[in-house]
Chain A
């Protein structure tokens, strides 16, 4: 399923890159990445809680997300589905590699200490295997969770749980288990990630 979607996205891209690439050639990684800063913050570290930081994000996650936004009925979002369609696969790769090398700035966020403590336990049990280092790691296709904006994390988990965004099989299983063990698991986890700066 996941793979099919990727293939589909590549097909879409193949069509797009003809019109997407101007006669003038491809812009530099920095020029491309700079256009993101207006919304995602300087070098991809956001100062607005509804918009995620994209600095330090793994190139794999970045590429996958952008391709998914380009796909019809792909990842759920109102703005990024429109923006992502403006870039060729080559341009997306340039941006992905650029942001992967930037350090993510983490800001102090409000959190509930008790929930965060319970969240750490849940994280260790259900999430740490893929989202290593307490969710700080950006290995493979795992998004950075620690220090990411909690407003954004709430949107994301709502979308996953309510079926608007597709989870990987692995994640689906773990989320189900975590929520079965504790109905308030998501809130606790998000408090934990928000507690890290």
Chain B
């Protein structure tokens, strides 16, 4: 039962469980009193929602279903590729959440029965809920690429877009690469998790190569013709990596000029584009994305593969009492970022608790801030404040925007430190503070 003792299992429901003797087809009844919220996914969205439900009403029972014992943050994982950060530094366990009174079930949720209000799991049978929050993150559209699937990605052509073993694999490949090699980063089409991520990754890898393998090159094959923070990234590439000169370490090929890729020959590390073929020494294909599996299995997705929600509460427009937050939800104009998920989780938690008490949801207010590190002392950001216009989320006019292009070197160095401090605070907000800061 993946680490859950029978006793804990009963405790999950405050003793109200009907547990079969086989322990496989249990139906956990919803807790009495304030209700039981089941959260699928223990990333930034799910963990923050759990925390803020408990803050709003400690009597609400909260259970997170999450297969992984440890969560690795996608943000700052590009620093692991550089060697500036270890995997341990982006690793978060669930003890902090448990100490907040939240139950963690390490299992796979396979389906949500929105009518019967229960979540089916691989090893723990059915878990009943009063409200369900789904924060599954993203899955990949493998079908768009010939010669690429989850297995090849895990073994040879890592996406490293869910931080974890693939981050380690990509780092090892970079370390093993000869000086003078070519790293290919294939950036996905919109919308996708962490819009500036592929370009920050190019900077972090370039910084590593500059120190250790200066004859090497990075080729970015982009499905798009423009990208997030493009002006600032281009300036950073010029400033640090010779972009625009004959000796540039980084080359960016936009979609209209052959950047769109159709597949890969993993044996020869050759990326097949719609115009050309590109041979790489290390190939990092970040595939096109859609909502995580459970969203599809539970009928929460639209024809584009994302989950439409009431943007005031994040309740699914397709299933009552099921809420979707984070990357999988349609929360445009908010980007698919960790801060957005953190902010959405709080709005959703407040709406869920209000609904359990038979009250109307409050007025939502949201923020996104997203840092990218171009070089050890050069950081940039984008920020935005959002409110609700009665129908949907909107940007607050006059707020937010990018780091100014003429921001001083000192402020750019501070932005790196802000990014590190933000990392501490947002992870503490979700998972609980680390013992050492």
Interface residues of A (CB under 8 A from B): 16, 19-20, 22-28, 31-32, 34-42, 46-51, 78-79, 82-87, 91, 107, 151, 155
Contacts and interface: CB of A to CB of B under 8 A. Distances in A.
A110 B151 CA distance: 47
B399 A39 contact: no
Given A46-B425, A49-B421, A82-B384, 14 more contacts: A31-B350, A35-B343, A35-B385, A38-B425, A38-B426, A39-B421, A39-B426, A41-B425, A42-B433, A50-B420, A51-B422, A51-B425, A78-B403, A86-B399
A37 B388 CA distance: 20
Contacts of B421: 39, 46-51
Nearest to B428: A47
A56 B422 CA distance: 20
A36 B339 CA distance: 10
A83 B367 contact: yes
Contact of A22 (B394, B417, B420, B423): B394
The 5 closest A-B pairs by CB, nearest first: A48-B421, A86-B385, A86-B399, A50-B417, A27-B365
B1 interface: no
**Interface residue tally on B, bucketed by range:** 35 or more
B366 interface: yes
Contact of A47 (B346, B366, B425): B425
Nearest to B56: A30
A38 B422 contact: yes
B429 A37 contact: yes
Contacts, number: 147
A35 B365 contact: yes
B248 interface: no
Contacts of B363: 22, 24-28, 31
A38 B381 contact: no
A78 B385 contact: no
Nearest to B424: A48
A42 B429 contact: yes
Contact of B387 (A16, A22, A36, A39): A22
A48 B434 CA distance: 11
Nearest to A35: B367
Most chain B beta-carbon neighbours within 10 Å: one of A36, A50, A51 = A50
Nearest to B349: A34
Contacts of B407: 78
B52 interface: yes
Given A24-B388, A151-B417, A19 B396 contact: yes
Contacts of B366: 35
Contacts of A38: 339, 342-343, 367, 369, 422, 425-426, 429
A79 B368 CA distance: 11
Contacts of A107: 437
Contacts of A20: 387, 396-399
B261 interface: no
Interface string B393-417: 0101111110110010001001101
A174 B271 CA distance: 65
B143 interface: no
B401 A82 contact: yes
Contacts of A26: 363
Nearest to A152: B421
A176 B369 CA distance: 37
A63 B45 CA distance: 30
Contacts of B369: 38-39, 79, 83
A46 B394 CA distance: 28
Most chain B beta-carbon neighbours within 10 Å: one of A20, A26, A28, A38 = A38
Most chain A beta-carbon neighbours within 10 Å: one of B312, B366, B383, B387 = B387
A136 B398 CA distance: 35
Contacts of B52: 34
B399 A48 contact: no
Given A38-B429, A39-B421, A47-B424, A78 B362 contact: no
A42 B425 CA distance: 7
Contacts of B417: 49-50, 151
Interface in B347-398: 347, 350, 362-367, 369, 381, 383-390, 394, 396-398
